[in-house]
Amino acid sequence: MYPFDTIPDAVLQRARSTQLVIFDIDGVLTDGSLFFDNQGEEYKAFNSKDGHGIRMLLESGLEMALITGRQSELVLHRADNLKVPRNRIWQGYRDKRPAFADLLAQTGLKPENIAYVGDDVVDLPVMTQVGFAIAVNDAHYYVKQHAHWVTQTAGGCGAAREVCELLLHAHGKLQAKLASYLA
């Protein structure tokens, strides 16, 4: 069990206020490695535990979005697998601010009700606007300096699951969700 009792109250309050979490892809939902075959086809490895955390989050009524600087069919395939709505996916946005503005317009949410999980400096323009900025454990040091919370695990290695479970815990939904697997 994650040691939620060690999480500061200020972090839990930010998590309670979160209605939607944005995940970067490379370095957050993957370990940041990019694999190419001899024909230039790109491959990424996604963590299944992270994926299950995202499913639990969505099934519990919280929302999510994906904003990534790269463009990849693999991202759409993974998002479809996790049941992430296509209108919550922005690809090819090195400057992520326009995607964030689209998301705000689409949802009507305020920035303070959004969390962002990032790992590199290109994530900072959005991370500094949201109510809950989260860095994965192996994020760039400058990103960690601007985060409200840093995960214990690295990107692509369970960090997204940590974020999902923290949000579910803060919303009072984690224990019931976990207990449902024993029913």
pLDDT tens, position by position, 127-171: 999 999 999 999 999 999 999 999 999 999 999 999 999 999 999
* pLDDT score for 2: 67
**Mean of per-residue pLDDT scores for the chain:** 95
**Do 102 and 86 contact (CB within 8 A), yes or no?**
no
* pLDDT score for 28: 97
* pLDDT score for 3: 76
- For the CA atoms of 2, 23, 124, 163, what is the dihedral angle to 10 degrees? -10
What phi, psi does 132 have (nearest 5°)?
A: -140, 100
CB atoms within 10 A of CB 81: 12
Q: What is the 3-state secondary structure (H, E, C) of the chain?
A: CCCHHHCCHHHHHHHHHCCEEEECCCCCCCCCCCEECCCCCEECCCCHHHHHHHHHHHHCCCEEEEECCCCCHHHHHHHHHHCCCHHHEECCCCCCHHHHHHHHHHHCCCHHHEEEEECCHHHHHHHCCCCEEEECCCCCHHHHHCCCEECCCCCCCCHHHHHHHHHHHHCCCHHHHHHCCCC
Take residue 73 and report the two structure tokens written for it. 């069919």
Answer whether residue 105 shows pLDDT above 90. Answer: yes
**Do 114 and 19 contact (CB within 8 A), yes or no?**
yes
**Separation of alpha carbons 88 and 143, rounded Å:** 24
Answer whether residue 35 shows pLDDT above 80. Answer: yes
Of 1-15, 19-33, 84-98, least confident by mean pLDDT is 1-15
pTM, two decimals, is 0.95
pLDDT tens, position by position, 41-78: 888 889 999 999 999 999 999 999 999 999 989 899 99
CATH code of the domain occupying 7-179:
3.40.50.1000
**Do 108 and 20 contact (CB within 8 A), yes or no?**
no
* pLDDT score for 165: 97
Q: Domain coordinates of the chain in residue numbers?
A: 7-179
* pLDDT score for 41: 84
pLDDT tens, position by position, 107-126: 999 999 999 999 999 999 99
Share of the chain above pLDDT 70, in %: 99
pLDDT tens, position by position, 1-23: 567 888 999 999 999 999 999 99
* pLDDT score for 138: 98
* pLDDT score for 40: 84
**Separation of alpha carbons 116 and 10, rounded Å:** 16
